[in-house]
Structure 1
Amino acid sequence: MKNHKTLLIVGLLLIPQMLLVRWFASFPQLVEQYYSNGLYPIISKASRYAFGWLPFSFGDIMYAVLIVLGLREIVLLIKNKFRGFKTFLLKTLAIVSIVYGAFNVLWGMNYNRLPLHESLGIDNEYTTEELVELTKKLIINSNSLHNQLAEDENSRVVYCDNTEGKNACLQEIFTGTINGYETLKTQFPKLSYPPKSIKNSLLRYPLSIMGYSGYLNPITNEAQVNGMVPAHRWPVISSHEQAHQLGFAKENEANFIAVMATLNNEDLYFQYSGSIFALRYALNDVYSRDKELGEDLKARLNPGILVNYQDSRDFWDAMDNPLEPLFDLFYSNYLKANNQPGGLKSYSYMVALLVNYDQRFPNTF
């Protein structure tokens, strides 16, 4: 009985936690100053020192163990004909309360920081003309990089086509990502990354089925890359997840930081990965406004770039499954619950950041 009372108290703490997080969300300047640029960098570095040296993902193992234990509890509950159901509910509520608290203290409060365009002092609106100008720049840059990396203009850019050496290639990417952030630090002094804590996820196939290229474990602060996705995507995914580690929780902002980190990397492969990633978003935005103009701009691309795009589509098409709409719905609602009201559509904010950053610093792309 005493145990039930303890579980209930811990579980009910979820309510004041949620109210407190909601209150903090009303003061993004405070979150920016005291959490994102105050407490969080200390937590983040400590976590990366604690888990970054491990050659495997401690967070993935933790998730796997929790899933197995959770399934075991459910099986036992059914086997015992739902005797002890009250205890099961109290345990579940207590665990949710603890996880919610840990999530927000260790990383999640970053969702409530100042919008990145405000921190950078740029606008978040743009015209079609400004969008087209950016897209043309990205096309020129992407074609130039493709010409240097591919056999000819019709061929895909290939990196690490040796299946057995994939992990070694990924380790090179992870090291190269840090180099990109060191270069980017001249523009964004707060982007000091070391120590490294990024890994090839142990849960690659489940991630692929769910449609994820990578993720950040908010508890252990380990960045995970899905090594099953086409290799031309690795640099920008790695940079994206490391942006999350640095406190840019929102997907669109992490995308922008990832593009900047790859374009400022000395490695041409990184630059190509980031450039065609940004270009895809820009082209999609053009298409949504003027399909004919979108087709005209697409025709200016080297055919080999389209082959790389097709590689990505083919990979995700092969992973299609009946549960995918549920995963999308869950993740979209997760984004909405964490200060991204547009859900999955909020990813387009990255284009606004790119356009306006390019307006302020014209030589970026």
Structure 2
Amino acid sequence: MNLKTGIAVSLIPQIILVKWLGNYPGIIEKYYSLGVYPKVSSFFRMMFGWIPFSIGDILYFSLTIVAIIYGYRNRKFIFSNKISFIRDVTMVLSIAYFTFHLMWGFNYYREPLSKKLDLSEAKDYEELVIFTEALISKTNQLQKQLTGDSLLRVEIPYSQNEIFDKTIDGYKELSKQYDFLSYTKPSIKTSFFSTGLTYMGYAGYLNPFTNEGQVNGVLPNFRFPIVTGHEIAHQLGYSAENEANFIGYLVTANSSDLYFQYVAYAYALGYCLSDIRRGDVTVFDKMFDSLHPGVKENFKEMSVFWSKYENPMEPVFKSIFNSFLKANNQSQGIKSYNAVVSLLVAYHKKYPLE
């Protein structure tokens, strides 16, 4: 009983310690993100990566079932011993909190990717407009090249396993330029709960306890390569959503495959147009009108896909995830996904689109 109480009470100093260490990103970067974490991640990817299905999904499902059965069978004891039950729940949360940070979570406090890439992020609307115009030109060009008709949407002609393999190959090539993006012992899979993830509004997730990258298997192929690259970026220790978005874009855009390039530029274009619209609707309308109808059809494809799964619970799940991100050093919460735009603009200011 004393051990249970001690573990439960340890949650408080754990939280204080994590937040204190979060003030020293250089220490986190050196001793955890580049020290402890790569070994932990590599070990679990080696352990579970060869298994064709998600061990993490099975783990989550099993724990949920166990919790439900336990709660039902012990409901009388729980109601008559509320203090003991709260202590036991807190003990479980304390163990989960410790395990989460040891196996992945400290990466939320590492040094920003922009420092590693020597990028100067800035929010300049004119620079955004210039970059977005270049993206439109590139996206239109690839759409016409791939379909031969500006009216047709691009169909990605690969299976999900082929997309996994092409993305892994893309990381091999990109690591020649950026060695910190070297990806070995792959562990990337579709989730058993892909339909459920879609209703929750999620395209994928990294299981921090098994280090398996989970991609929503229901997603259209038009988005699948980017999400695969995004989840692998999380496996490599880039927890921030904007950084995982950027790395996912970078590995897909640098692929030798034209379909992957199109997916990457269209993905970046969507975020940039969203920021353009917030700044000036007139400029947005003019830019959107300049897109080939086929590109618009690909955007429509994603809009129709997500609209089919809209439900009253989706905002609740989004709110929970928003709170999770804010609790883990992502001050913008779910809006941090959109922060990829400043990284894109800064990167292509340094390396202009050809």
Q: Shorter-chain-normalised TM-score: which range?
A: over 0.9
Structure-1 separation of matches of 2:305 and 2:66:
32
1:341-360 mapped onto 2 (5 Å cutoff): 341-360=331-350
Alignment-derived partner of residue 195 in structure 1: 185
Deviations 1:17-71 (A, max 9, x none): 1111111100001111111112111111111001000010000000000111111
Q: Where does the alignment leave 5 or more consecutive residues of structure 2 unmatched?
A: none
Alignment-derived partner of residue 54 in structure 1: 51
1:42 aligns with 2:39: yes
Shift of 1:174: 0.7
The answer to whether the 8 Å contact 1:149/1:157 transfers is yes
SS of 1:190's equivalent in the other structure is helix
The answer to whether the 8 Å contact 1:252/1:347 transfers is yes
Deviations 1:75-127 (A, max 9, x none): 22435572343443222111111111111010010000112222222212131
The answer to whether the 8 Å contact 2:142/2:258 transfers is yes
Alignment-derived partner of residue 172 in structure 1: 162
The answer to whether the 8 Å contact 2:213/2:232 transfers is yes
Q: Which moved more, 1:52-61 or 1:270-279?
A: 270-279
Structure-2 separation of matches of 1:138 and 1:296:
14
1:14-163 mapped onto 2 (5 Å cutoff): 14-78=11-75, 82-150=79-147, 152-160=149-157
1:334 aligns with 2:324: yes
Structure-2 separation of matches of 1:121 and 1:159:
34
Evaluate the alpha carbon distance shift between residue 79 and residue 186 of structure 1 in structure 2; reply closer, same or farther with a 3 A threshold: same
Residue 274 (structure 2) aligned to one of 279, 284, 287? 284
Q: Which moved more, 1:20-29 or 1:338-347?
A: 338-347
Alignment-derived partner of residue 222 in structure 1: 212
Structure-1 separation of matches of 2:191 and 2:27:
34
Structure-1 separation of matches of 2:187 and 2:102:
19
The residue type equivalent to 1:131 in the other structure is L
Alignment-derived partner of residue 182 in structure 1: 172
SS of 2:97's equivalent in the other structure is helix
1:170-319 mapped onto 2 (5 Å cutoff): 170-319=160-309
SS of 1:232's equivalent in the other structure is coil
Shift of 1:151: 5.3
Q: TM-score w.r.t. structure 2 length?
A: 0.96
Structure-2 separation of matches of 1:217 and 1:299:
40
SS of 1:326's equivalent in the other structure is helix
Evaluate the alpha carbon distance shift between residue 63 and residue 81 of structure 1 in structure 2; reply closer, same or farther with a 3 A threshold: closer
The answer to whether the 8 Å contact 2:78/2:85 transfers is no
Structure-2 separation of matches of 1:294 and 1:77:
58
The answer to whether the 8 Å contact 1:111/1:249 transfers is yes
CA RMSD of aligned residues (A): 1.5
Shift of 1:315: 1.4
Shift of 1:245: 0.4
Evaluate the alpha carbon distance shift between residue 39 and residue 298 of structure 1 in structure 2; reply closer, same or farther with a 3 A threshold: same
Structure-2 separation of matches of 1:187 and 1:39:
24
The answer to whether the 8 Å contact 1:332/1:343 transfers is yes
Q: TM-score w.r.t. structure 1 length?
A: 0.93
Identical pairs, percent: 42
